[in-house]
Structure 1
Amino acid sequence: MTNTNNLAPAGGIVESELKTTGHVHAVGNELGGMMAFSDLFTALAYFFIPVVLTLFIIKHRELKFKRILVMFILFILACGLQHFLHFTSHWYPTPQLLNATMAFMAAISVITAVMILPILRQVSAFIQERGELEERLAAHNVELESALSLANDRKLAFEQSERAFRAIISGAPIGTAVVTLDGRFSLVNKALCDMFGYVARELEKLTFQEITHPDDLDTDLFQVRMLLDGVANNYRMEKRYIRRDGAEVQAQLDVSLVRDEQGNPDFFVSQIQDITASKQTQSALKESRHRFLSLLKHLPTAVVVHRSDSSIEYVNPAAEDMLGLTEDQLLGKSAVDPDWHFLTEDGDQMPLDDYPIMKVLSSKRPLSNYTTGVVQRKDAQVRWMLVNAFPIKTAAGALDQVIVSFIDITEHKKLQQALKEQAQTDPLTGLFNRRYFQETAAREVAQARRANSPLSIIELDLDHFKRINDRYGHAAGDKVLVAQSDIIRQLLRENDIPCRVGGEEFVIIMPGTDAHEAAFAAERLRAKVMSADIQLENQQILRWTTSLGVASLEDGDICIEDVIQRADRALYQAKADGRNCVSVAATG
């Protein structure tokens, strides 16, 4: 029998008084067999662990702290060997080998214990370093996630921008295309396809060089080179394209160069507008303008075209001749210019607002048969013009031009003035006649009433004029009348109005003159006449005198006839007083 009290802990068997009998211990066949196989399987498990760890170390050569793993592998091998020896000792006891294995395990344990202290410090440092690395890695992961999120946002923004760009291109009302650097259409819209007669897939296989009119290609390529060389960022030109059906398309081309983030040329964006109809309209307008200007050039009527700012844009030869100025002297000048001014029909200085061009510009309505005098500074001569003018408006209704036509009526004006003077002037004396006196007297009375100013009339009659005619003849009488008129003109003021109203009867209208001033003027006239004489053809000297009546406008006078009646009575009184005197009508 074996003494079981001497069994070593942890399955170790100390050499003792155990005794073997054949192939099993004396503890019993069933229990001994179970213990033997337990040691076997434990040994196998211990042997398997070092194999796995060794393979792991071989695979992970960069692994830290391999020495402690090696010691652990040796320890596990020793444990496995112990269990294997224990297994075999059931049949073949080897106490010396078992003790050696125990000693090896002890040595390995001591070495491991000695090695583990510094390794623990390294492991602690490694764990701390790993923690820091994990923190940095976590921070880097956050940064990476942020960068990925930003990249994703940028990708979404780019995709959205790409969709918007394509939508803008496709929805543009004018022909629009993205063109590669070698000239190929990479993206075209419907408007461009309709313009050139292609579908999109056909047009995107072509280059702009292939559909450009040969005569315009060099100019276009030169502009492209300017963009690529950085001389310009965009360009505009008019050029011709060839449609799919061979027809020409007049177009306005606008091209911009798009560069990448590094500033290198990437692609072109082209906008193409069909201006064929516009060009045809311009050509028609040009032809129409040419015919119009040709008509104006040969028109005998003077024509001046003003811009909306009144400056002169065009003059025809008739206008140059009529105004006595050349085209260079007229073009660009305004109607309001120091080199000339305008007169009213009465000969007065015309206000600027009444200038023909100014009236049309302000009213925007035509002006018909407007008479004005034009006085040039260089010669001060008056040229009378009959003016017609009408405005030219844009389609929007804005004033664009004013066309002024005029004819020279200077000779007609002179004739008209001569006829007027004949109708108003006494042919013998050159003084105003009775008709003019009647028209003017009423007007002057009305003016005096409005201005609340005085007005006087002098009536005078040559004394014994019939005797002069009877004794010396009517020719001598006419000389007396002319001399009398000359004296009247010499002594009167500029605004006084002398008239011959009968054979030897004269009336003088004196605006702004009261009775006292008129009486003084009458007396001067009487004295001047009395001292005057004329020499007849027979060398005879002829003298004469005159009687004068003076009357002034009073508050109670209804019309000029009231003043004339008082002047008549005063004249009769002067004759009754012996002639050659002045009589002033009583007031009130």
Structure 2
Amino acid sequence: MIVVIATGLAAFVVPNLVWTSLRTDPRYVPQLFLGLIALIILFNVYILEQKREVNRTRAQLLRELMESAKAKETALVDPLTGVFNRRYMEEIFPREISKASRSGSDLSLIILDVDGFKDINTKFGHFGGDQYLRDVATLLKKTFRGSDTVLRLGGDEFLIILPETSNKQAVRAAERLSWETRWWNQAGHAKYELSFSSGVATYRKGMDMKEVLDKADKDMYRVKIERQATRHAAESQAWMLEDPGQSAVRSSRKKDVH
């Protein structure tokens, strides 16, 4: 590069110094033209080399940016289910709250807790439990909109963030998920059936992330308790309506045990 720069300087300085002698001696004209051609060639080679160097640097930076983006994305995704994780929730949810607060738009969320996940693990093993969670995640991604964000909070808990969604719309979305779950179970995709309890909460101006999550969590446990009470009531009613002969047999077995 130094040689090229020196040659370039010479191209400007030398002609002014020797132009008078060159005009009087035509023998130097061919050498002058050859020197200019050589200078042009060297300059073009230099430009091409610089361009290649810029392209190499740009490609390297692009690779590093892509690797950095991939590493960041990997850190924000749950490796088991392929949906976003709690870390991403802590990043995106405050942004959605800020957006809803500024624009006055609705923001709701649905929190899900798998029913009897411990029994699933006991019956089908940890591999079966992992597949169960993957099936839940797949169903959630299929059911909700592309603008919604599906996350796994950890364990058997999932969260769906629904921007520009009122409380009534979020409740309907949760009902739609219930229908999708019934259809999935009826299709017999697996040896188990998917079952989970859900809670809905809607952001109100002035609330922070924890308050919205706590509200959804309380709603979910309310639903879970109500479902358990309904199931126990149904079991009790079935016991009362049971065939008298079967009741006698069962009572006899109980006496034998005692």
TM-score w.r.t. length of structure 2: 0.69
Supply the distance in 1 between the matched residues of 2:172 and 2:100 (Cα, whole angstroms): 21
1:572 to 199, 213, 221: 221
Measured after TM superposition, the shift of residue 516 of structure 1 is 0.5
Supply the distance in 2 between the matched residues of 1:435 and 1:461 (Cα, whole angstroms): 18
Supply the distance in 1 between the matched residues of 2:228 and 2:142 (Cα, whole angstroms): 23
**Could you say which structure has the greater relative contact order, defined with CA pairs below 8 angstroms and 6 or more residues apart?**
2
Measured after TM superposition, the shift of residue 579 of structure 1 is 5.5
Match status 1:494 vs 2:146? yes
Task: Provide the residue aligned with 1:551 in structure 2.
Answer: 201
Structure number with the higher helix fraction is 2
Aligned amino acid, residue 572 of structure 1: Y
- Which ranges in structure 1 are unaligned for 5 or more consecutive residues? 1-241, 251-279, 304-318, 323-385, 387-405, 582-588
Task: Provide the residue aligned with 1:458 in structure 2.
Answer: 110
Match status 1:292 vs 2:66? no
Supply the distance in 1 between the matched residues of 2:211 and 2:104 (Cα, whole angstroms): 18
Q: What is the correspondence of 1:144-159 to structure 2 with a 5 Å cutoff?
A: none
Q: What is the correspondence of 1:99-178 to structure 2 with a 5 Å cutoff?
A: none
Aligned amino acid, residue 490 of structure 1: K
Aligned amino acid, residue 137 of structure 2: S
The answer as to whether partners of 1:458 and 1:567 remain within 8 angstroms in 2 is yes
Q: What is the correspondence of 1:314-325 to structure 2 with a 5 Å cutoff?
A: none
Relative to 1, partners in 2 of residues 1:470 and 1:295: Cα closer, same or farther, differing over 3 Å?
same
Task: Provide the residue aligned with 2:7 in structure 1.
Answer: none
Supply the distance in 1 between the matched residues of 2:98 and 2:90 (Cα, whole angstroms): 13
2:80 to 411, 428, 431: 428
Task: Provide the residue aligned with 1:563 in structure 2.
Answer: 212
RMSD (Å) for aligned C-alpha atoms:
3.0
Measured after TM superposition, the shift of residue 289 of structure 1 is 4.8
Aligned amino acid, residue 103 of structure 2: A
Give a deviation string over 1:221-242, Cα, whole Å, max 9, x none: xxxxxxxxxxxxxxxxxxxxx9
Give a deviation string over 1:198-223, Cα, whole Å, max 9, x none: xxxxxxxxxxxxxxxxxxxxxxxxxx
The answer as to whether partners of 2:101 and 2:205 remain within 8 angstroms in 1 is no
- Which ranges in structure 2 are unaligned for 5 or more consecutive residues? 1-18, 25-31, 231-258
Aligned amino acid, residue 571 of structure 1: M
Measured after TM superposition, the shift of residue 499 of structure 1 is 0.3
Number of residue pairs aligned between Structure 1 and Structure 2: 203
Aligned amino acid, residue 566 of structure 1: K
Supply the distance in 2 between the matched residues of 1:453 and 1:286 (Cα, whole angstroms): 68
Task: Provide the residue aligned with 1:518 in structure 2.
Answer: 170
Measured after TM superposition, the shift of residue 295 of structure 1 is 2.5
The answer as to whether partners of 1:546 and 1:580 remain within 8 angstroms in 2 is no
Task: Provide the residue aligned with 2:241 in structure 1.
Answer: none
Measured after TM superposition, the shift of residue 545 of structure 1 is 1.0
The answer as to whether partners of 1:456 and 1:552 remain within 8 angstroms in 2 is yes
Match status 1:301 vs 2:52? yes
Greater gyration radius: 1
Supply the distance in 2 between the matched residues of 1:579 and 1:522 (Cα, whole angstroms): 18
Aligned amino acid, residue 201 of structure 2: A
Measured after TM superposition, the shift of residue 561 of structure 1 is 1.4
What secondary structure does 1:531 align onto? helix
Supply the distance in 1 between the matched residues of 2:133 and 2:159 (Cα, whole angstroms): 13
What secondary structure does 2:59 align onto? strand
Measured after TM superposition, the shift of residue 572 of structure 1 is 1.1
1:508 to 151, 156, 160: 160
Measured after TM superposition, the shift of residue 547 of structure 1 is 0.5
Q: Give the percent of matched residue pairs that are identical in Structure 1 and Structure 2.
A: 32
Structure number with the higher strand fraction is 1
TM-score w.r.t. length of structure 1: 0.32
Match status 1:438 vs 2:87? no
The answer as to whether partners of 1:428 and 1:478 remain within 8 angstroms in 2 is yes
What secondary structure does 1:551 align onto? strand
Task: Provide the residue aligned with 2:23 in structure 1.
Answer: 249
Measured after TM superposition, the shift of residue 414 of structure 1 is 4.0
Task: Provide the residue aligned with 1:478 in structure 2.
Answer: 130
Measured after TM superposition, the shift of residue 452 of structure 1 is 1.4
The answer as to whether partners of 2:106 and 2:202 remain within 8 angstroms in 1 is yes
Supply the distance in 1 between the matched residues of 2:65 and 2:88 (Cα, whole angstroms): 20
Measured after TM superposition, the shift of residue 283 of structure 1 is 9.3
The answer as to whether partners of 2:109 and 2:162 remain within 8 angstroms in 1 is yes
Give a deviation string over 1:90-142, Cα, whole Å, max 9, x none: xxxxxxxxxxxxxxxxxxxxxxxxxxxxxxxxxxxxxxxxxxxxxxxxxxxxx
What secondary structure does 1:442 align onto? helix
Measured after TM superposition, the shift of residue 301 of structure 1 is 2.9
